[in-house]
Amino acid sequence: MSDDSSGRLVAVLRQWIATAPPGARLPSTRALVAEHGVSPVTVQKALRTLGAQGMVESRPGVGTFVRTVRVPRAHDHGWQTAALGAPPLRGPRLSTALRTTSNDVIALHSGYPDRELLPERLVRAAFTRAARSDAAVSRPPAAGLPELQAWFAGELGAAGPVGVAPPSPSDVIVVPGSQSGLSTAFRALVGAGRPLVVESPTYWGAILAAGQAGVQLVPVPSGPHGPDPDELARAFARSGARAFYAQPSFSNPTGAHWSPTLADAVLDVVRQHGAFLIEDDWAHDFGITADPVPIAARDDSGHVVYLRSLTKSMSPAVRIAAVIARGPARERLLAAAQAESMYVSTLLQAAAYDVVTQPGWRTHVTGLRQQLAARRDLMVRALAEHVPTASLDAVPAGGLNLWLRLPDGTDVLALARGCESAGVVVAPGDEWFPAEPTGAYVRLNYAGPDPGSFPEAARIIGETLETLEMASRRRLSD
Ligand SMILES: Cc1ncc(COP(=O)(O)O)c(C=O)c1O
């Protein structure tokens, strides 16, 4: 053996390695001995040298392999720009309502209630039972677990007047959250390039889902009491739309709660235009001084397609909602839901069904009412004291949010930035407008963590607003 012969072998093997794919196996010691006429000790020495240089790694009893060397370099995904073309819609990458924030800030931006408002004990016990049952290893029927379908149908049917045929369990399609239900409904019932009438302002996620489905939005103004039925009729006539997406109970963001008279008038307009009302009953469990009465409960002619979610009142981890529709619309919806998600996890469906059939569920929903009332009132008082130049068009009778109108001309994004740097996160209202915002608004969630900090949050909002107003007055006088 000589250093020269191992050095020569190292040089030969480096060349071999240079053309071999990462992970390739080197010839065995015996093969290298035979091929290069060197001793086994020389081969071992050469392999140790290559190992020390990071070129090979030996796996005892298996062999020696070319190391997978990762060369650090900047990613270049620029080619995708040409492949993807311009995006169909440009908006914020992530809605403010979905942002996660650190515990140090006062978070008023989220769309979901804080954990302390959830039936945590019921949910945990339900998951434990579901995990032990067949639900953990079985596939449900595509439209949903029959018992859960029956529960959703029963709840809606119980809200209907005598003389209206209640929905049947087979009218129910279980979907993974009502966001998914909206997306499914817009694709299945409206379709790309076709018009959909929406309230303005309306839920940012509906604007997003419609945009992704290529649906053209036709906004109708909606105030603290809901839309004007005459305006709605004009929008249908003008656009030729065959669907109206709305939140009759505690709308997100305005909190509007339609009167029974308005609900009847809207249903009439929808029927006259041979259209669908896509009713998003997202806040069904969040009534405070009013109870939501779904319009779908008064319709057995298939004009109302009803969305009812459990994720906000049960747990954001139980992404379960129902779409209830009759006739061919139901078939279209089921086909679209299957294309999107095939079916919803049996485990989640079983856990959701377990929770809603516990006596504790009703206690939970009733208790929520008091908690939300106390939180809402605390925030309303704090805003009146600390943000006197802002106003609420109405104090909502339910839901999770206040829709705070700021003085005209307020730069809402600057206000949100200013508040955040002082430790309060608010949602700029612009995200809820399907067209240009018609006012300066922020949405404030009173169901978030630490309600004790609401006065402090209101003080910071008030001070930030004052600073902005002073800066704008200075600019004007300069
Ligand atoms: C009005 C409205 N509809 C639907 C959703 C979607 O809820 P989920 O997908 O959690 O059921 C939300 C969530 O913020 C909402 O505010």
Residue 64 CA: distances (Å) to CA of 5, 9, 68 = 20, 15, 12
181-205 pLDDT per residue, tens:
999 999 999 999 999 999 999 999 9
CA of 177 to the centre of ligand 1 (A): 7
- Closest residue CA from atom 14 of ligand 1: 111
Q: The dihedral of CA 161, 164, 168, 174: what is its sign?
A: negative
To test ligand 1's pocket by mutation, which of 208, 280, 282, 314 has the most ligand atoms within 8 angstroms of CB?
Answer: 282
- Closest residue CA from atom 2 of ligand 1: 282
Q: In angstroms, rounded to a whole number, what is the distance separating the alpha carbons of residues 407 and 412?
A: 10
Mean pLDDT calculated for residue range 3-31: 91
| Per-residue pLDDT at 39 | 94
Q: Does ligand 1 come within 6 angstroms of the Cβ of 254? A: no
Q: In angstroms, rounded to a whole number, what is the distance separating the alpha carbons of residues 245 and 139?
A: 32
* Buried/exposed 35-63: b ≥16 CB within 10 Å, e otherwise: ebebeeebbebbbebbeeeebbeeeeeee
372-427 pLDDT per residue, tens:
999 999 999 999 999 999 999 999 999 999 999 999 999 999 999 999 999 999 99
Structure tokens at 264: 């009847």
Q: How confident is the model at residue 1 (pLDDT cuts 50, 70, 90)?
A: very low
CA of 178 to the centre of ligand 1 (A): 6
Ligand 1: atom nearest CA of 203 is 1
160-172 pLDDT per residue, tens:
999 999 999 999 9
Q: Does ligand 1 come within 6 angstroms of the Cβ of 311? A: yes
Q: In angstroms, rounded to a whole number, what is the distance separating the alpha carbons of residues 359 and 365?
A: 11
Ligand 1: atom nearest CA of 252 is 1
Q: Does ligand 1 come within 6 angstroms of the Cβ of 157? A: no
What average pLDDT does the chain have?
94
* Main-chain dihedrals φ then ψ at residue 139, nearest 5 degrees: -105, 130
Q: Does ligand 1 come within 6 angstroms of the Cβ of 205? A: yes
Mean pLDDT calculated for residue range 279-304: 96
Look up the pTM and report it. 0.86
Q: Does ligand 1 come within 6 angstroms of the Cβ of 401? A: no
Amino acid identity of 332?
A: R
- Closest residue CA from atom 6 of ligand 1: 179
Beta strands at 172-175 and 321-324: parallel, antiparallel or unpaired = antiparallel
Residue 100 pLDDT > 90: no
